[in-house]
Amino acid sequence: MTPYLAEVVGTALLLLLGDGVVANVVLKRTKGFDSGWIVITLGWGMAVFVGVFAVAAVSGAHINPAVTIGLAVAGKFSWALVPGYIAAQFLGAAIGSGLVWLHYRPHFSVTEDADSKLAVFCTAPAIRHTSSNLISEIIGTFVLVFGVLHLAAPEVGLGALDALPVALLVLVIGLSLGGTTGYAINPARDLAPRIMHAILPIPGKRDSDWSYSWIPVVGPIVGGLIAAGLYLAMA
């Protein structure tokens, strides 16, 4: 398996399980319907664990453009590989979220709330306030990338043994900081599934909230850059 294919697979697993737990909680007539935020945050943490563990030995398991850029800025990853990694992550996120739609297809049909259907694919703010929402994504991603930078081996990324620490890191970000925007903290995780929501034949869906869509992209990149800058300053 090439590193690019590994990033596709790892990010697809991340989205299959991460968006999958959201679908299980918010879509009608699932076994997990209305089971709450703790289930979602735990599910996302374990989704990160699976994604990282599965491909760490091949690609370093970035599975997040903000992590890839942060590692490159910090000198832990080659800039020449960055475009290919990011493209692979977006492709994997699209595949994973598409599989969630396929898996939960009957439940999309019986769910009336269009906002819940959108929530399966991408994030939305609890209170819509542009600067605050952007700051939330910056802070959450800063914590993620700063933690990853201290775990990542030089010139590689993460190893399989780092899967659990990173999963716990994402879990605590969700529990402590995720209630404002849904903690995208990953441009591919939010934008690629948002595009899938727009193109998939989901009955009764709403628009894909494009006016908000830039925040889960720009915020994580800025947060990752700040984390890399601080990491270098402390080195």
Tens of pLDDT, residue by residue over 34-56, are: 999 999 999 999 999 999 999 99
Least reliable range by pLDDT among 84-88, 134-138, 140-144, 160-164: 160-164
More confident position, 1 or 134:
134
Averaged pLDDT, 103-124: 98
pLDDT digits (tens, 9 = 90+) for 126-145: 999 999 999 999 999 999 99
pLDDT of residue 152: 80
Residue 32 is given by DSSP the state T
Per the rule left: phi > 0, alpha: psi between -120 and 50, beta: everything else, 60 is left
CATH number for 110: 1.20.1080.10
CA distance 188 to 194: 10
Number of domains within the chain: 1
Determine the Cα–Cα distance for residues 148 and 158; give it in Å rounded to an integer: 8
Q: Which domain holds residue 215?
A: 3-234
- The model's pLDDT over 175-223, given as tens digits with 9 standing for 90+, comes to 999 999 999 999 999 999 999 999 999 999 999 999 999 999 999 999 9
| Alpha carbon distance 147, 139 (integer Å) | 12
User: CB burial class (10 A; 0-12, 13-18, 19+) of residue 218?
Assistant: middle
Q: How would you class 186 by CB atoms within 10 Å of its CB: exposed for 0-12, middle for 13-18, buried for 19 or more?
A: buried
